[in-house]
Structure 1
Amino acid sequence: MSPTPAERLGELAARVAQDGLSARLRADVAGRVLDVLGNSLAALSERPAEVVAAVVREWGGTAESTAIGSADRLPAPSAALVNGTLAHSLDFDDTHLPSVLHPSAAVVPAALAVAEAAGVSGPSFLDAVAVGVEVTCRLGMAGYDEQRANSVFFDRGQHATAICGTVGAAVAAGMLRGLSAAELTSAIGIASSMGSGVIEANRTGGTVKRVHCGWAAHAGVTAAALARHGLTGPPTVLEGRFGLLHAFCGDRFDIDAVTSDLGERWECDRIFVKPYPCNHFTHAGVDAALRIRAAGVDPSDITRITLGVPEPVLRTIAEPIEEKRRPRSGYHGAFSGPYTVAAALLGGGGLGVFHEDFADDAVADPARLALAARVEVVADPECTAIFPRQFPAVLTVRLAGGEVREEPVSHNRGGPENPLSPQELATKFRLNASRAVDDAAARDLTGLVTRLSTDSAPAMVTDLLRSLARRKRRD
């Protein structure tokens, strides 16, 4: 009998754990780990992360793994919960297209927690992250409807990151615990009963979405532990009549996306690094606004702005339009097409817009609100045809003298076709980390993560993080 898709994923994970991956893939993963750490350090003062940290302190338990921002160790699932929440809290985490999910924010926190607890090497950690991310992305692609050019998960109001990321996190954690191929298959089967997440918060508010990646990491670590101790999962858990894909996607899934060219073609090559800490659907509008600003357009001369976007993203960044033009908080501003365009036109921080542009007082700024009120968001046919392999936009501004400027963006900044430079990536990490640590500490962290494929180890990274937390507590 041919192996099931879950069994094939388990076999891949076991093989990579034994044989290792290429230097190219390991270097790519190290960059993603650094990005997650920077995003997490920047989020330490965010309320959802503080809530989760308070909850896990109440839980207590065996000291195994480091929660970023804490001087003390926690049980590995608890540390994964905290760190996954931090990683996703600012919507600055990477995105895989066209599945439209954020794999690293769920997988890296799970792998880091288990790698520290198990004392594994840097290369083993990077290999586990790579496979966990790959599993996450392939499950997301199984739920991608090519005909409708949309994620079935999202179409049904489900957060694909939280659902698929739980399985990817379980695979990464299982590899680091030395699970066999059969045990890894069971971890997939167990994790498939644990992933969940609805995205109504994107529309009408609430901070629960920020915990989705934390819970996926937590559940993935737990699933791997259960498999390690003998709990089993169904080998047909992905494609079966009552399996994960039928349950979440009905009949609209492509099981071949899970296994096609498995181990030869890597979906992680289609991951985009975010230059701006806001919903990825807004990024092309920001790119276009920055270009228009760089061309010398004075925002005070703008009388009307039209943001053309793919039709499926309207509900996330344009509806209800009254709320999107006047975000009720900084977090809601990160999901607003009108506000992000206005912030970029007026001049934001970082690589174009940065954290300070999504503070509550920033989204209440009269100048930004006045400009956002002039933004109309419409479905653009050409953008819709490209989506979701890119998140394109076309920005058109009409000036007081009657002149019209149009700026189309077909390839997102930070993606494979328009990547951030090494300097831009370093700038993003440094600016993120500066919210929590000094420049010297940021350089030390960068060095340790960069050397994970050679002479560094996850425990060295987490030791430094705890040391920084102790120093801050003394100060």
Structure 2
Amino acid sequence: MTAGGGTDGTTAAPGDQPTLSARLARFAVDCRDHGVPDAVRADIPGRVLDILGLALAAHADPGADAAAAALRSVRRWGGIGEATVIGSGDRLPAPAAALVNGVLAHSLDFDDTHLPSVLHPSASVVPAALAAAEAVETGAAAGGAALVAAVAAGIEITNRLGMAGYLPATGVNVFFERGQHATSICGTIGAAVAAGLLYGLDDVGIGHAIGIAASMGAGILEANRTGGSVKQAHCGWAAHAGVSAAVLAADGLTGPPTVLEGRFGFFTAHTGDFTADALLRGLGTDWEVLRTVYKPYPSNHFTHPGVDCALALRAGGLDPADVAEIELGVAAPVLRTIAEPTAEKTRPRSAYHAKFSGPYTIAAALLGGGGLGLSLDDFAGELPADRLALAARVRCVADPRASELFPRAFAAVLRVRTRGGALLEHRVDSSRGGPQHPLSAADLATKFQLNAERAVPPAQIAALRDAVLGATGAGVTPSALLALTAPAR
């Protein structure tokens, strides 16, 4: 459908009524100029802290090879040192720093998720905002109004773009059906908005940044199924492209006003159809950023309800040695990600690809554990033979109830047949960390601590946490904040 347009898919002429990008731009500038609601203001620092912890942990994870490749590449590019690479201390041009930081943020597949769009918005938007904030050195602290407003607006727009490609009647995400990674495609525009706000663009300039960024967003999901580390780089490229789009707009490059809804625009290219109501309904009053949930486990979010079930059965006394066979029932649309191809998912080719395996994550939950239930150590190094053997006994099927609830919640049922013939079953209708079971403040503090301590010492972790959350860090500049992530000398 179109938004106030003609029957040929075009919108009304600019000036007749605002285009979609113009309305999003005005919303974003209003966030910067007039602030965001208290609940949103309180929410954003935690998202910044989560991303910083994830990026630090990625430095110490041998499976995060995409981040190492990105850093090697951008060091060769050279340029003026405007912004900091989290955890390394490198000073690079803002788009290059955003690239590396976005790759770091998404490398562990441990970043937050918006439902029902199933996007991971913060891993693109936060790195872009931090890089832009450093480049202009606004003087805002991590919890300061300028950075908070930029991140909030960028995440909100990212989420709403994803929602516009989601069809409520069928539960289908059209981006996903086409093999497109909506996280990076929509995140490029959200990153451009966040960066543009910090560069001081007005609503016209933000509109151009959106128009430019829409030509830069990309991401193909096949690596989820059959391997490759390129998916780790998707959020980094979105952050890089977003900052680049904002800089280009500031320097005079322009974008089409109907870039989103036009005949040859964003939605025609990526989804073929869209719901403008999802993009605009309640914009500025009903915040999708607050429906963005944190992950307790460092694996693809579709695996989480199965992990919950396995942990519950383990807590109830299930002995993995007594397992004859396991049936994992999940929403039908997620089978392609965590269950197919069968040979790839029952025996993943690397620890990183094990994060996208329903069978392997069940085995890890029954035999491993750490952190908030599963830890980064459960997806490190060579995959243990006992977990692979148990994963081979897991069969994944579509479950009607989980399919009905998807994607507003991730649900699953786990049925275990023991060697003695007993049948054990556990079902969850919303995974831990999801809308019905959000992580507590203590859980989030533990997650950050466990991630950050893989790279920096305790005193540095405390200083970084205080600076982001504002307990003692009033007046900390973006550069000073990111200096706290540098490796100990």
TM-score when scaled to structure 2? Answer: 0.93
Which residue of the partner structure matches residue 87 of structure 1? 105
CA distance, structure 2, for counterparts of residue 228 and residue 191 of structure 1: 13
User: How far did 1:345 drift?
Assistant: 0.9
Q: Is residue 221 of structure 2 the alignment partner of residue 206 of structure 1?
A: no
Which residue of the partner structure matches residue 276 of structure 2? 255
Which residue of the partner structure matches residue 196 of structure 2? 174
**Do 1:134 and 1:266's aligned partners in 2 also have CA atoms closer than 8 Å?**
yes
Deviations 1:328-351 (A, max 9, x none): 110110000000001101131211
Which one of the candidate residues 234, 237, 243 is aligned to 2:256?
234
User: How far did 1:127 drift?
Assistant: 0.8
CA distance, structure 2, for counterparts of residue 77 and residue 159 of structure 1: 21
Greater percentage in helix: 1
Which residue of the partner structure matches residue 120 of structure 2? 102
Moved more, 397-406 or 452-461: 452-461
CA distance, structure 1, for counterparts of residue 436 and residue 403 of structure 2: 18
Which one of the candidate residues 410, 428, 432 is aligned to 1:409?
428
User: How far did 1:456 drift?
Assistant: 3.8
Q: Could you tell me which amino acid in structure 2 is paired with residue 461 of structure 1?
A: L
SS in 2 for 1:397: strand
CA distance, structure 2, for counterparts of residue 306 and residue 186 of structure 1: 51
SS in 2 for 1:303: strand
Which residue of the partner structure matches residue 343 of structure 1? 364
Paired residues for 1:4-19 under 5 Å: 4-19=19-34
User: How far did 1:23 drift?
Assistant: 2.9
Which residue of the partner structure matches residue 427 of structure 1? 446
SS in 2 for 1:178: coil
SS in 2 for 1:43: helix
User: How far did 1:460 drift?
Assistant: 2.6
SS in 2 for 1:360: coil
SS in 2 for 1:435: coil
CA distance, structure 1, for counterparts of residue 389 and residue 88 of structure 2: 41
SS in 1 for 2:325: strand
User: How far did 1:304 drift?
Assistant: 1.3
Q: Is residue 182 of structure 2 the alignment partner of residue 142 of structure 1?
A: no
- How many equivalent pairs are there? 466
Which residue of the partner structure matches residue 67 of structure 2? 49
CA distance, structure 1, for counterparts of residue 229 and residue 79 of structure 2: 26
Q: Is residue 286 of structure 2 the alignment partner of residue 271 of structure 1?
A: no
Q: Percent identity?
A: 59
**Do 1:123 and 1:454's aligned partners in 2 also have CA atoms closer than 8 Å?**
no
Q: Could you tell me which amino acid in structure 1 is paired with residue 73 of structure 2?
A: V
CA distance, structure 1, for counterparts of residue 101 and residue 90 of structure 2: 14
Q: Could you tell me which amino acid in structure 1 is paired with residue 111 of structure 2?
A: D
Q: Is residue 403 of structure 2 the alignment partner of residue 381 of structure 1?
A: no
CA distance, structure 2, for counterparts of residue 421 and residue 457 of structure 1: 28
Which one of the candidate residues 18, 25, 29 is aligned to 2:44?
29
Query: Which runs of at least 4 in structure 1 moved beyond 4 Å after TM superposition?
Result: 452-455
Q: Is residue 486 of structure 2 the alignment partner of residue 460 of structure 1?
A: no
Which residue of the partner structure matches residue 9 of structure 2? none
Paired residues for 1:284-295 under 5 Å: 284-295=305-316
CA distance, structure 1, for counterparts of residue 17 and residue 480 of structure 2: 42
Deviations 1:246-296 (A, max 9, x none): 11111x311221111110111112111011111000000001111111111
CA distance, structure 1, for counterparts of residue 360 and residue 81 of structure 2: 44
SS in 2 for 1:304: strand
CA distance, structure 2, for counterparts of residue 84 and residue 459 of structure 1: 17
**Do 2:84 and 2:479's aligned partners in 1 also have CA atoms closer than 8 Å?**
no
Structure 2: give runs of 5+ residues left out of the alignment.
1-15
User: How far did 1:148 drift?
Assistant: 2.4
Which residue of the partner structure matches residue 20 of structure 1? 35
Please provide the CA RMSD for this pair: 1.3
Structure 1: give runs of 5+ residues left out of the alignment.
none
User: How far did 1:455 drift?
Assistant: 4.2
Deviations 1:22-48 (A, max 9, x none): 332122110011110111001114221
Q: Is residue 327 of structure 2 the alignment partner of residue 309 of structure 1?
A: no
Q: Is residue 365 of structure 2 the alignment partner of residue 326 of structure 1?
A: no
CA distance, structure 2, for counterparts of residue 289 and residue 457 of structure 1: 44
Moved more, 435-444 or 29-38: 435-444
Deviations 1:310-332 (A, max 9, x none): 00111110011122111111011
